Structure 1
Amino acid sequence: MNRRPLSVAATLAVAATLLLAACSSGDKQSDSGKIAGADNGTKVTKSPPASPSDTAAGRPKITLAKDMQNVFEGGTTGDPVKESILHDNAQAVSAMDEAVYTRSLQKPAFGTYLAGDAAKTGALWVQGFYDDGITWTGKVRYYERRITSLKGSVATLTYCSDESKSFNKNLKTGKKSGTVSNPDDYVVFYNTRLKKNMNGVWQTTDLVSDRGASQCQ
């Protein structure tokens, strides 16, 4: 496996919630599911580059290791609302990776861009890296990013990732994981739900992943 996958148990637990959310515009997602203390911490240097809206709103910046690279395709749509959704989703992805790199779930970006079940799922995924004594290195490409529903302050977004150029890395030895034998294991399909909060941030509130999904082949 190139990168440690999202927890299967966690993604199954939120699948029903996400499917219901995609079918209803009247759902209200509570922000009470945020990871305790996730809004605390010290602001850090930027990576990926912050947009002008991040600077204006005073949002926390994100830093990744020099050998971690996320590439997000399709961020320009001509629609400012959709572009904000795509941007904030990318920030949520990088916020989880920042937690892996810094070995801390207390960085402010995590609680800014993730809430509800997505924060719980993300925290479990990050904790797995801590438990296994690993991080990841290389490049992950995110593509086919599509907003499948947008009703008021609630949106659903699907996208794929290509992890063929990323690897787990043992923190003690520096040794990288080998390549996988099945090319299908390189790709992951994500189905997410986002809700715009009072600060104007499109928080990812639900997150389901499917490794090797046909949608990404």
Structure 2
Amino acid sequence: MKRRPLPAAAAAVAALSLLLTACGGSDDDTKSEDKINGADSAKPSPSPSESAAERPEIELPDDAKNVFEDWETGDPKKDAVLADSAESVNAVDDAIFRGVKESDALSFYNSGTALADSVDYIERWVDDKDTWVGTARYRDQKVSFNDDGSAVVIYCIDQSNAFIKDGRTGKVDKSSSSNDAYALTSTRLVENDKGVWQTVEVEAKRGAAECLP
């Protein structure tokens, strides 16, 4: 089944386990009680840091939606991290839909290896002229902070209702779902001098038992 791959998904298990270990001391053990139903919003509320920098505009098509379930904790610092983490995801998809390999939003919310991986990932979509339709859900988030001040966000992705649209034919591939539609993802973020939590590393494991329905 052809399905949208995640950046750095290949051979990421070892690195992912290291990030998961770093997150072991998180005091945020809150999970969505209903993994799929009752999404809080398609986009998190603006983070407290948003007043510190002019944010690039990101708008996905009406037929494609990233839903971030329970993406607010009530803790201002964690919520700022989560808001910028969500925009990192949206910036990648925004570039895909606009058919560009790089954008202001992409480099605004990503840097380091995460930015390089995202550019490579987007390039494959743009070269194939593909996009996607449907809904991708981001859930079961956990946030923790490392001693160096960086943040780690771990979450599950459910792409079982997101389908590739062939840019040449307009045909949507709605093949039956598989475990590859679910992924356990871990990201590391660093706050820059503008108060933006930039994603600097992304690791993902397809078909992870923790994220299967």
Whether these two folds match at TM > 0.5 is yes
Question: Does 142-151 or 13-22 show the bigger shift?
Answer: 13-22
Distance 2:139 2:7 in 1: 22
- Measured in 2, the distance between the counterparts of 1:131 and 1:19 equals 33
Aligned to 2:209: 214
Matched, 1:119 2:115: yes
1:87 is the counterpart of 2:91 = no
Equivalence for 2:46? 51
Gaps of at least 5 residues in structure 2 are 24-41
Contact 1:48 1:63 in 2 (8 A): no
TM (norm. structure 2) is: 0.79
Gap change, CA 1:57 and 1:139, over 3 Å in 2: same
Matched, 1:105 2:104: no
The alignment's TM-score, normalised by the length of structure 1, stands at 0.78
2:158 and 2:10 map into 1 onto residues whose CA distance is: 19
CA contact (8 A) 2:52 2:194 kept: no
Match of 2:197 among 196, 202, 213: 202
Q: Does 1:188 align with 2:175?
A: no
Q: Does the 8 Å CA contact 1:2/1:180 hold for their aligned counterparts?
A: no
Q: Structure 1 residue 180: deviation in Å?
A: 3.2
- Unaligned runs of 5+ residues in structure 1 are 25-46
* C-alpha RMSD of matched pairs (Å): 2.7
Name the SS for the 2:18 alignment partner.
Answer: helix
Aligned-pair CA distance for 1:132:
2.2
Percent of aligned positions that are identical: 38
How has the CA–CA distance of structure 1 residues 88 and 7 changed in structure 2, closer, same or farther, with 3 Å as cutoff?
A: closer
How many Å separate the matches in 2 of 1:159 and 1:22?
14
Partner residue of 1:141? 137
* 8 A Cα contact 1:61 1:109, kept in partner: yes
Q: Using the TM superposition, give the Cα deviation of residue 213 of structure 1 relative to its aligned residue in structure 2, in angstroms.
A: 0.5
Which of 72, 92, 102 pairs up with 1:96? 92
Query: Secondary structure of the residue that 2:172 maps to in structure 1?
Result: coil
**Superposed displacement of residue 23, structure 1:** 4.4
Q: Residue in 1 aligned with 2:169? A: 173
- Equivalent residues of 2:100, 2:126 under 8 A apart: no
Q: Quick one: structure 1 residues 181 and 61, their matched pair in 2 at CA, closer, same or farther if it must change by over 3 Å?
A: closer
